[in-house]
Amino acid sequence: MSITNVFHLGLKISDLQGATLAILPGDPNRVKKIASLMNNPKYIASYREFTTWSAKINGNTIIICSTGIGGPSTSIVIEELSQLGIRTFLRVGTAGAIQKYIKIGDVLIVTAAVRCDGASQHFAPLEFPATADLSCSMALIKAAKKIGIKSHYGVTVSSDTFYPGQERKDTYSGRIIKKLRGSMEEWKNMGVMSYEMESATLLTMCLTQGLRAGVVTGIIVNRTQQETPNVIWMRNAENMAIKVVIEGAHIILTEDNNCT
């Protein structure tokens, strides 16, 4: 389905200038920052948590659009951008590691997500795997190697909540329901690398609808050591992930153009 304008993002099909690839940070404040690292950055629109800019890589228009936090708002962005012609989605964000060997400032290329969210279940039953597109993952892995950023690839857990769903006890009540107690240790023992809140929705939604998706996150804290990151760590991890996603977009567009 292709239409001329969409409601939540406040975009018209002409705003995309034929773009087929979008970079999706969560934070609206990251959108301008990402666009400004490419050519011809241009503000388009801002509604609620959704801020959109465009930029160019080697003459190809890229859309950069924030998703806000979590799966429900992410699903709106994917739905409306795909209606306007986007076919490849690259999420860039931050995450908390749960494996001791992952360092703060490393990046994680997500190859699959544990579906501890609710939004992804509106697109496929839980038996369906939330996996990234292979070409997107390979491009992001190549990108990290090319620019010399320490990276890991593997599985993340996507939770609908930041606190109990990720087994954080530093809350108002300190209460975690029985089902979630010990869950972080369980995921860690299975080799899962991190927690975040969007990948399962993005990957399930795209895989079930013939769209491509990849994910790269910067590690802002290692929860085997402490719970709270500091501002410097956050900025450094964010910058590393942004560098990887821009180079990854460049690789994907180059490979796509070489195949046409």
- Catalytic residue check, 80: yes
- Catalytic residue check, 79: no
Secondary structure (DSSP) of 164-199: GGGT---SSS----GGGTTHHHHHHHTT--EEESSH
- Catalytic residue check, 30: no
Q: Which of these is catalytic: 8, 49, 79, 87?
A: 8
Q: What is the CA radius of gyration of the chain?
A: 17
Q: Which of these is catalytic: 152, 212, 223, 250?
A: 223
Which residues have C-beta within 8 Å of that of residue 162, sequence separation ≥ 6? 69, 168, 197
- Catalytic residue check, 8: yes
Q: Which of these is catalytic: 30, 91, 168, 212?
A: 168
Give the integer Cα–Cα distance in Å for 99 and 78: 30
Give the integer Cα–Cα distance in Å for 241 and 103: 14
- Bridge-partner residues for 43, per DSSP? 53
Render the burial of 171-201: b for 16+ CB within 10 Å, e for the rest: eeeeebeeebeebbeebbeeebbbbbbbbbb
- Bridge-partner residues for 155, per DSSP? 112
Secondary structure (DSSP) of 220-238: EEETTT-S---HHHHHHHH
Write the CA distances from 105 to 116, 149, 194, integer angstroms: 25, 9, 13
| Helix residue spans in the chain (DSSP H) | 29-35, 71-83, 134-146, 183-189, 199-207, 231-259
Q: Which of these is catalytic: 80, 198, 238, 247?
A: 80
Kindly list the catalytic residues.
8, 80, 168, 223
